[in-house]
Structure 1
Amino acid sequence: MSDTQTAPPPVPERSASTARNVLAVVALVWTVQLVSLVAALSGVAQAEVAIHFRTTEIAWFTLMTLLTGTFFLPFAVKAAALFGKKKVLLVATGLGFVGDLVAALATDYRTLLIGRGIAGVYAATAPLAYAITRDIFPRRWVGLASAILAGGIGLVAFGGPFLSGWLLDDHGFRGVLWFMAISTAVSFVLVTLFVPESAVRTPGGRMDWLGGLLLGGGITALVYAVGQGSHWGWSSGKFLTYVAGAAVVLLVFVFVERRVAEPLFPPSMTKRRPVWTVLLATSVAAGSLSAVGIVVQLLVLMPAIPHVSDGLGWSGTHNAIVTSPISAAILLAAVGTGWLARRVDTRVLLGTGSALTVLGYGIGTQLHHSAAQIIEMGLIAGVGTGMVAAIVPIMIIEAVSPEEQALANGAQTLGQGVAQIVVSQLAFVVMAQHGTVLKGTQFYLDKGFTNGLWLVVGCCALGAVLVSLIPKAVRHTEPA
């Protein structure tokens, strides 16, 4: 017999296509869920960062990323439509890696904040990843890919606390910062290798630089004023000047957007009642819940020092173990809400979710001194959090046409980011009113944590009330 070898049969085109789609989904899931994971890691690390750098300005450790991410988002959404979603996705990821690297190597708090600010650009990758999903996959894959991208939050909800606890307990906050940098680098490689460029473009479009600068500048001035209000004095001329200046700049932004040919967010969409009411209610409701993590994480991770700090002093791992039932409640509520949304008015679901968060954190204002009490508070609020998180994208789909989906997602993400920044900054201010500075570090007494939770309760209640403004939706997938 001859000793010749036969070539292996060619791989069927369908199998090769399926493999490419699977790899693209993996790359996009990593990119999207890294945004949530980094936010969770930041919350866990902030107490140790504050103590290490002896700073009373720990609020900016998380707010810097939120602020730059919010500022960059409108430009990213517009640039993606003009130049290609993958290109902008890689730019945002690359800048995120540079920022994470600067933060990981920082030897002083100012440099750390600069790094965190640059890294905040990465936040724009989430809406870009969802947008590119509609463009690069076959029709039969779009729904599945989008569901997997959203469903990955379950992995973050369960695995994130244990990962952050291990990093913090065994490697300190430096380990957390280096994990962020390495993970962002992996995201860049995955997108480069496995995500194709979208062919969808806006021909002949222009960037609305003036609108973006006005919007970002107004928001930045407002947030900075709120953060410094306790130092300047709430009735001081400096505080009032910043707030008035921010209001004027934002009004000019509205005026400009009505007159430019290609605005960041077309007034023809945002002025419709079904759209602006949904954007307002979901932004306040979801943004407030995003901010509550700051209060709770400081409460459980700050040390217990008589007359100085009334934190519970948990380790990162103990925090993960205690809060794992809460993560399960969030995930199950989100899945159940997705099923109920086909049968129940989405306004009812958003209002119910917000009401449950008010009840849960309302109980927490008085009962937050033990693991059992944290679980009791978290289970009730967790169900509400899962409902709100799941119903927001569904309500956006109901409010706009398919052609407006990307812009509406961008507007909602921007509004939610602004709400989160303002509520977070106010939470730090409120907690510091009943706190103590020891060796340059801001610690918080029990009254401060209580007032921080009351602030969140009030903001969640406002979100529930705003639901009443939303008219009944007419689903765009059904005949009018």
Structure 2
Amino acid sequence: MSQTPTVAPPAQERSTSTPRNVLMVIALVWTVQLVALMAALSGIAQAEVAIHFRTTEIAWFTLMTLLTGTFFLPFAVKAAALFGKKRVLLAATGLGFVGDLIAAVATDYRTLLIGRGIAGVYAATAPLAYAITRDVFPRRWVGLASGILAGGVGLVAFGGPFLSGWLLDDYGFRGVLWFMAISTAVSFVLVAAFVPESPIRAAGGRMDWIGGLLLGGGITAIVYAVGQGSHWGWDSGKFAAYIAGALIALVAFVLVERRVAEPLFPPAMTRRRPVWTVLLATSIAAGSLSAVGVVIQMLILMPRIPTVSEGLGWSGTHNAIVTSPISAMIIVAAVGTGWLARRVDARILLGTGSALTVLGYGIGTQLHHNAAQIVEMGLIAGFGTGMVMAIVPIMIIEVVTPEEQALANGAQTLGQGVAQIIVSQLAFVVMAQHGAILKGTQFYLDAGFTNGLWLVVGCCALGALLVLLIPRSKRLDEAEVGQAA
């Protein structure tokens, strides 16, 4: 499928002005970071949600959004190439708002999960926002805008705990859910008002429905099986059947993509070594870091109950105050990485960031029992997190063409989502080996938190090692970027 830039519309021409560029950055930063903010708010609220609904299945509170987001992502990036990135951004945001509303008014856990599942479609906005950044900004703004979008992770990490602490302490988890709905509505308005449509569009083509269903269905089956593995038994026939069915679907997907005229993810792109190695390394590295909140937030917010739960029992506000230096470190690292990316090999930056997360969380496996130890762990790991999150979108720009940008971002987000889901689920399984159920709620002992952190350390280390597979590629200044690129 070929993609051709259309004639730039008037809004595109006006975007060359600084005020217009600033407004676009604000709109896209809000859109991208709302995905991270919702994940952070969900992580902080999940302990109270588990206690309120008396469920041992709290993992699905965050898993549902990841599950549906992963399933619909291939369709979203393909639709963006066919119909326009802005249109798909608005469609995904609108569905996200509907899901958030359902979750906010839910009176039972099943309805809450349905709302969370619908809201998960919003996850597709992040890769599309990064892709549209390459298309609509002037060349001199592309690197800066991409760095700011990625650096917003630090802003979320800094402001998110204060915001969630205030919401959780004063309004409970309902306040968190209503804030999500309002924020999604704001995202819709900002994109509609300030972001122009991308001039990069597919010249014809059609949706690869079969490929999308096979890919989404295969990944969904794996995720569901991992989520239920501890209940079914890891050696049970049901678990084996789901995994076997998923593998068959994924093999069929590969075969279908080789034969269809308009593949979901063109094999010509994904077979190139610079592309698949970057996708693999960044997916593991970033996905592992996205999953670490499962362990950290449970450790910090779960109450301390003798012989049952050995969480720190902090309030949301106390958590925000203690972890604010860590959040500031993420911001500094992300912005600095965006600046260094034009001068330093991106592989070095990704490897260094991943190594720092291994060191930080490695220390945390032994020292995580008070505020000073949490800060010590977080400052090191936070600096590494900022580096990893900032360099991921830049590495994608360096290895693909403008026409491939949305598809590559979608593939990376898909891989990262799968890694996050699997690591998150395994973390719950590992932690539950040292815990207890009280009044329908799963609690965890210190050994559970320790083993959960060791799991994260191992996955981050794998991400660091995978950097060695990536060949040298063009740097950001050499890549084809900018308006009508």
Report the TM-score when normalising by structure 1.
0.93
Measure the CA separation in 2 of the matches of 1:215 and 1:185. 30
- Show the counterpart of 1:114: 114
Measure the CA separation in 1 of the matches of 2:377 and 2:51. 27
Question: What is the percentage of aligned positions where both structures have the same residue?
Answer: 86
C-alpha distance 14-458 of structure 1, shift in aligned 2 (>3 A): closer
Measure the CA separation in 2 of the matches of 1:18 and 1:344. 27
Determine whether 1:376 maps to 2:376: yes
Measure the CA separation in 2 of the matches of 1:136 and 1:396. 17
How far the C-alpha of 1:198 sits from its partner, in A, is: 3.3
SS of the aligned residue for 2:200 comes to coil
How far the C-alpha of 1:140 sits from its partner, in A, is: 5.5
Measure the CA separation in 1 of the matches of 2:260 and 2:351. 36
Measure the CA separation in 2 of the matches of 1:371 and 1:448. 19
Measure the CA separation in 2 of the matches of 1:117 and 1:15. 35
Q: Which amino acid aligns with 1:222?
A: I
How far the C-alpha of 1:143 sits from its partner, in A, is: 4.8
Segment of structure 1 superposing worse, 275-284 or 31-40: 31-40
C-alpha distance 306-136 of structure 1, shift in aligned 2 (>3 A): same
- Show the counterpart of 1:312: 312
How far the C-alpha of 1:337 sits from its partner, in A, is: 2.3
- Show the counterpart of 2:7: none
C-alpha distance 122-235 of structure 1, shift in aligned 2 (>3 A): same
Q: Which amino acid aligns with 2:78?
A: K
SS of the aligned residue for 1:245 comes to helix
Instruction: Tell me if the contact between 1:100 and 1:180 (Cα under 8 Å) persists in the aligned partners.
Output: yes
Determine whether 1:99 maps to 2:94: no
Instruction: Tell me if the contact between 1:400 and 1:476 (Cα under 8 Å) persists in the aligned partners.
Output: no
Measure the CA separation in 2 of the matches of 1:323 and 1:370. 12
C-alpha distance 287-402 of structure 1, shift in aligned 2 (>3 A): same
Segment of structure 1 superposing worse, 253-262 or 25-34: 25-34
Measure the CA separation in 2 of the matches of 1:476 and 1:159. 30
Instruction: Tell me if the contact between 1:350 and 1:391 (Cα under 8 Å) persists in the aligned partners.
Output: yes
Measure the CA separation in 1 of the matches of 2:15 and 2:475. 36
- Show the counterpart of 2:65: 65
C-alpha distance 328-473 of structure 1, shift in aligned 2 (>3 A): same
How far the C-alpha of 1:478 sits from its partner, in A, is: 3.9
1:68-87 correspondence to structure 2 within 5 Å: 68-87=68-87
- Show the counterpart of 1:194: 194
Segment of structure 1 superposing worse, 191-200 or 350-359: 191-200
1:58-457 correspondence to structure 2 within 5 Å: 58-137=58-137, 142-457=142-457
How far the C-alpha of 1:37 sits from its partner, in A, is: 1.1
Determine whether 1:459 maps to 2:443: no
Q: Which amino acid aligns with 1:376?
A: E
Measure the CA separation in 2 of the matches of 1:247 and 1:301. 37
How far the C-alpha of 1:267 sits from its partner, in A, is: 0.7
Measure the CA separation in 1 of the matches of 2:430 and 2:240. 19
Q: Which amino acid aligns with 2:281?
A: A
Instruction: Tell me if the contact between 1:136 and 1:196 (Cα under 8 Å) persists in the aligned partners.
Output: yes
Measure the CA separation in 2 of the matches of 1:20 and 1:284. 36
Segment of structure 1 superposing worse, 465-474 or 376-385: 465-474
Q: Which amino acid aligns with 2:53?
A: F
Measure the CA separation in 2 of the matches of 1:188 and 1:18. 22
Equivalences, count: 468
SS of the aligned residue for 1:73 comes to helix
- Show the counterpart of 1:6: none
Instruction: Tell me if the contact between 1:398 and 1:475 (Cα under 8 Å) persists in the aligned partners.
Output: yes
Greater relative CO, 1 or 2 (CA 8 Å, sep 6+): 2
Q: Structure 1, residues 385-441: CA drift from partner, whole Å, max 9, x if none?
A: 112112212222222233322221111111111100111111111111111111111
Instruction: Tell me if the contact between 1:309 and 1:443 (Cα under 8 Å) persists in the aligned partners.
Output: yes
Instruction: Tell me if the contact between 2:394 and 2:476 (Cα under 8 Å) persists in the aligned partners.
Output: no
SS of the aligned residue for 2:201 comes to coil
- Show the counterpart of 2:10: none
Measure the CA separation in 2 of the matches of 1:340 and 1:66. 31
Determine whether 1:50 maps to 2:23: no
Instruction: Tell me if the contact between 1:289 and 1:385 (Cα under 8 Å) persists in the aligned partners.
Output: yes
C-alpha distance 266-59 of structure 1, shift in aligned 2 (>3 A): same
- Show the counterpart of 2:483: none
Measure the CA separation in 2 of the matches of 1:450 and 1:99. 34
Q: Which amino acid aligns with 1:176?
A: V
Report the TM-score when normalising by structure 2.
0.92
Measure the CA separation in 1 of the matches of 2:204 and 2:16. 35
C-alpha distance 273-377 of structure 1, shift in aligned 2 (>3 A): same
How far the C-alpha of 1:138 sits from its partner, in A, is: 5.0
Q: Which amino acid aligns with 2:295?
A: V
Instruction: Tell me if the contact between 1:401 and 1:476 (Cα under 8 Å) persists in the aligned partners.
Output: no
Instruction: Tell me if the contact between 1:273 and 1:471 (Cα under 8 Å) persists in the aligned partners.
Output: yes
Measure the CA separation in 2 of the matches of 1:465 and 1:15. 41
Measure the CA separation in 2 of the matches of 1:356 and 1:14. 42
Unpaired stretches in structure 1, ≥5 consecutive residues: 1-12
Instruction: Tell me if the contact between 1:161 and 1:317 (Cα under 8 Å) persists in the aligned partners.
Output: yes
The ranges of structure 1 where at least 4 consecutive aligned residues each deviate by more than 6 angstroms after the TM superposition are: 13-17
